[in-house]
């Protein structure tokens, strides 16, 4: 009998407790849950509306003058740095990547040091799409200083979008990273920026970079990289 009472009690808690029970959405057992559901929907709708408004603002700015792009970037900068909603910050960062102007570059450079990994990854995606030369030193700093391997990998890949000696110098850091995956990614990006095909031979790329920029490779040298990383 005692066991039956415990089972009934457990079933009741399952229905009305925890996440308000399986019937909470209908409000049959917990009417107050309807208000909670409505509040969550309002938050979702507000976030969706904010994202749409940011996109429309950037579309207008891109059709307008340089001053209009700067104004849009300033508004996005506030959302990207101050919004309490992560999704809003991420969307603002994506939109900043469409505006190649002083404010957007300054904001992305600042957010490259944000403690949130998702923010830094979003910043890298924006740098990757922006044709600004300011992207290269910012990406190089992330490769050399960031402690998250996914961030360093993303920054190394992004540098492949910026051909020229400046990117070769930046990828110099990745070639001697302690993580072989980052070394490998560096060789792939170097093929793009240098216009030269040396495969995935890390040693060969190190020699090429040393000859190109006139200095030895430098970076995270905690371990000696293997000369060749197989496909």
pTM over 0.95: no
- Picking from 120, 144, 165, the residue at the C-terminal end of a domain is 120
194 in the same domain as 109: no
Backbone angles phi, psi at 28, to 5 degrees: -70, -35
224 in the same domain as 174: yes
210 in the same domain as 142: yes
How confident is the model at residue 131, as a pLDDT?
A: 76
How confident is the model at residue 40, as a pLDDT?
A: 52
| Domain residue limits at 114 | 61-120
CA distance 54 to 68: 14
Domain-embedded: residue 28: no
How confident is the model at residue 43, as a pLDDT?
A: 55
Counted domains in the chain? 2
- Picking from 69, 89, 120, the residue at the C-terminal end of a domain is 120
- Picking from 95, 120, 145, the residue at the C-terminal end of a domain is 120
How confident is the model at residue 5, as a pLDDT?
A: 53
200 in the same domain as 144: yes
How confident is the model at residue 205, as a pLDDT?
A: 87
How confident is the model at residue 223, as a pLDDT?
A: 39
How confident is the model at residue 9, as a pLDDT?
A: 45
How confident is the model at residue 42, as a pLDDT?
A: 54
Domain-embedded: residue 165: yes
How confident is the model at residue 225, as a pLDDT?
A: 38
160 in the same domain as 229: yes
Give the Cβ contact number of residue 19 at 10 Å: 8
Block mean pLDDT (10 aa), the chain, length 231: 49 45 47 53 68 93 94 96 94 94 94 96 93 88 94 96 89 90 94 85 88 63 36 29
Domain-embedded: residue 23: no
204 in the same domain as 165: yes
Domain-embedded: residue 10: no
229 in the same domain as 142: yes
| HSE toward the beta carbon, residue 119, CA cutoff 13 A | 21
140 in the same domain as 116: no
Within its chain, how far is the Cα of 77 from the centroid? 16
How confident is the model at residue 118, as a pLDDT?
A: 97
How confident is the model at residue 109, as a pLDDT?
A: 94
Domain-embedded: residue 3: no
158 in the same domain as 85: no
143 in the same domain as 98: no
């Amino acid at each position: 009998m005692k066991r039956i009472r415990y089972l009934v009690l457990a079933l009741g808690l399952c229905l009305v407790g925890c996440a308000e029970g399986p019937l909470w959405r209908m409000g049959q057992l917990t009417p107050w849950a309807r208000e909670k559901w409505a509040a969550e929907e309002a938050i979702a709708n507000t976030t969706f509306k904010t994202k749409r408004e940011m996109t429309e603002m950037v579309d207008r700015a891109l059709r307008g003058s340089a001053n209009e792009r700067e104004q849009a970037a300033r508004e996005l900068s506030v959302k990207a740095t101050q919004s309490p909603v992560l999704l809003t910050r991420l969307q603002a960062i994506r939109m900043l990547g469409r505006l190649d102007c002083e404010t957007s570059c300054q904001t992305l450079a600042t957010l490259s040091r944000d403690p949130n990994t998702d923010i830094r990854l979003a910043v890298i995606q924006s740098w990757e799409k922006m044709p600004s030369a300011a992207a290269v030193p910012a990406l190089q700093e992330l490769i050399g200083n960031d402690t998250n391997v996914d961030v360093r990998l993303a920054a190394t890949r992004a540098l492949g979008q910026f051909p020229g000696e400046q990117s070769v110098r930046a990828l110099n850091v990745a070639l001697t990273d302690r993580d072989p995956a980052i070394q490998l990614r560096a060789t792939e990006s170097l093929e793009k920026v240098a216009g030269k095909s040396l495969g995935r031979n890390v040693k060969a790329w190190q020699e090429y970079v040393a000859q190109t920029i006139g200095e030895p490779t430098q970076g995270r040298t905690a371990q000696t990289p293997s000369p060749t990383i197989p496909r």
